[in-house]
Amino acid sequence: MSIYGLGAILSKIAQFVLLPIYTRMLQPADYGLLEMIYLNGNIFAIFFVLMIGSGFIRLYYDDESVLYRKRLFSTTFYFSLLSGIVFLSLIFIFSKSYTNLMFKGELNQKYILYIAVAMFLSSVNMILYNRLMVRKESVKYISLNLFTTIMTLCLAIYFLVYLKMGIRGILISQIISFASEYIILFILQVNSLTMSFDFFLLKNMLKYSIPLIPVQLASFVLTLSDRYFINIYQNIEDVGFYSLAYKISAIVSLLTMKPLKAFGPHILSLLKDEERCKKELSSFSSFFLFTVLSLSLLLSLFASEIILIVSGKAFLKGASIVVLLTLSYSVIAFNNVILYGIHIVKKNYLNMIFWIVAAIINIGLNILLIPRFGIAGASSATLISYLIITLFYFLALYRVFRIRFQYGIFVFLSILFSIFYFIGNNLEFSLIINIVLKITIVCAYLIIGMLSLYTNSVEKIHTPEV
């Protein structure tokens, strides 16, 4: 599965490449408006095909016959088109009312129609990509991903830089890219489509996929809804500042989540040796927390410099919240390590409950904190919500799969991070001296952190189990 993750990485890389172009060509308010449009597009994507792609992957392996798999694929594809067209039609019909409700009449309703078409195409394309993935056609999968990424980059630059079409040009470039991607995917797989439609298979797929929608919505609330509240309680410019800081902070996820996926098969292979499985999960969680906190410290201390290079002074306000957002991404990544314990005992329903509860709490925190503290309040709400999920995971594992986590190391690394960030964030020397001192602080954190992990591992070796 690891090679298919390259598609997601390519998409992230494209976003980072386009980031300086978007922020140089758009004012903070326009960039904030673009992010709000994307936010609505993400909502649409959840409902276009009702996440039936997950059901398709789950049922694909139930029967190896060619006839069954063609019937399954055909049913999935036709339903995706039908469901997507129905939902897209509703958006077209009510676009004016929806735009007035969500944007108070400040947005051209055509932008909502553009993003709706783009996300409809993207949702259907994912069904076609899923078939390539289950058939292990990795060359086609990655090649097409690469083609779409390059095409999106080129079109976005052409429409935005040369034609100076602003937000409209960005959205049109995505429609063209996704439409081209769909045509190629369809041509590659049209021979596998039949004129059959199996309602029994559809029922089973939806039975599996529809319960995933609440989790996806909860995830959406935790990761994206803060922009909506910032727009309501502050202004669209602050959405731009916040969104840029969020994307810079996402580097933590980009650099750590891929290696984490490689850890999953390893830890699951140790299920027959439960004690070893618990020990390795405990040790790895400490090392992983140290890794994400190190990245978070690096990005947080150099947030101002990064934003100045990427976007210029106009977006510098977002630098102050990078520390909270990088910590949020660190907690997300750390939670994914702990989550393996819940996967091992097959209690995945707990994850759904925890995310929904955290999402509800997040809404309350946004309403409480954003009017008073602005984007800092939104960042704090995000971090607190993810920490609540961490607490839920620890409490659940204590009951269902008790692991002796190295809580002392967790606390030590966190306190050390706080001290070093406070020192590095309050330097008042020349630019060169500040940069040298910040690098020194990061190196000191790395050295002390590694020594603490090493010392702790030696102590565990020489300390008998009680």
pLDDT band at 7 (very low <50, low <70, confident <90, very high): low
User: At residue 70, does pLDDT exceed 80?
Assistant: yes
Choose among 226, 223, 234: nearest CA to 372. 234
The C-alpha atoms of residue 123 and residue 117 are separated, in whole angstroms, by 10
Kindly report which listed range (8-12, 197-201, 462-466) carries the lowest average pLDDT score. Answer: 462-466
The model's pLDDT over 117-137, given as tens digits with 9 standing for 90+, comes to: 999 999 999 999 999 988 888
DSSP string, 398-444: HHHS-----HHHHHHHHHHHHHHHHHHHT--S-HHHHHHHHHHHHHH
User: At residue 88, does pLDDT exceed 80?
Assistant: yes
Q: What mean pLDDT is predicted for residues 199-227?
A: 87
Predicted pLDDT at 1: 44
The C-alpha atoms of residue 150 and residue 152 are separated, in whole angstroms, by 5
User: At residue 461, does pLDDT exceed 80?
Assistant: no
The model's pLDDT over 144-156, given as tens digits with 9 standing for 90+, comes to: 988 888 898 899 9
Tokens matching residue 301: 């201390």
The model's pLDDT over 292-329, given as tens digits with 9 standing for 90+, comes to: 999 999 999 999 999 999 888 899 999 999 999 999 99
Q: Dihedral of CA 226/227/230/231: which sign?
A: negative
What's the distance, CA 302 to chain centroid?
22
28 three-state secondary structure: helix
Number of DSSP helices (H) and strands (E) in the chain, helices first: 19, 0
Q: Dihedral of CA 161/167/171/172: which sign?
A: negative
The C-alpha atoms of residue 87 and residue 97 are separated, in whole angstroms, by 15
Burial level of 455, CB count in 10 A (0-12/13-18/19+)? exposed
- DSSP-derived secondary structure letter, 192: G
